[in-house]
Amino acid sequence: MAFVKTSEKSNEPVEAGKTIETQVEGEIREFVRRDVAPQRRQPEHDSEMVTSNIGNLLQRVAGTSVKEIDKLVAELQTLRETLQNEGARVQREIVEYASLSQAAMQSTRIIAESLTSWPSTRHD
């Protein structure tokens, strides 16, 4: 095993077979281990964070569900109004039909009575 040079930060010899990329990757890993590890929270803080994350997730899911339900309620109210309007229209048309039908029956009765009062003419 031949050693060529030492690492700039750690003064440890670097093997000749290692590439510069491997060396840089190792230094990055070491940097992350040193600088990120102390920033991690204590276990009780982690459980609080998990609880908070779950709470946030539930709020988002519930918020989405509530929005969907509100949208469906609004659609149903619109359909209800439409059905009420159509029901009122159908009732008006039925009343109009009944009125026309009654007028037609009266006209028919008047014509029938007029025809019975005419003298019948026979050609013998």
Selection from 6-10, 24-28, 106-110 with the highest mean pLDDT: 106-110
pLDDT digits (tens, 9 = 90+) for 18-75: 688 888 777 777 777 776 555 555 555 677 777 778 778 777 777 788 888 999 999 9
In whole angstroms, give the CA distance from residue 23 to residue 19: 6
Higher pLDDT, 112 or 23: 112
Which among 14-18, 99-103, 116-120 has the top mean pLDDT?
A: 99-103
Q: What is the pLDDT of residues 76-92, one digit of tens each?
A: 999 999 999 999 999 99
Confidence category of residue 1, pLDDT binned at 50, 70, 90: very low
Q: Which residues contact 10 (CB under 8 A, 6 or more apart)?
A: 30
| Whether 26 contacts 14, CB under 8 Å | no
Whether 6 contacts 12, CB under 8 Å: yes
* pLDDT over 50 (residue 3): no
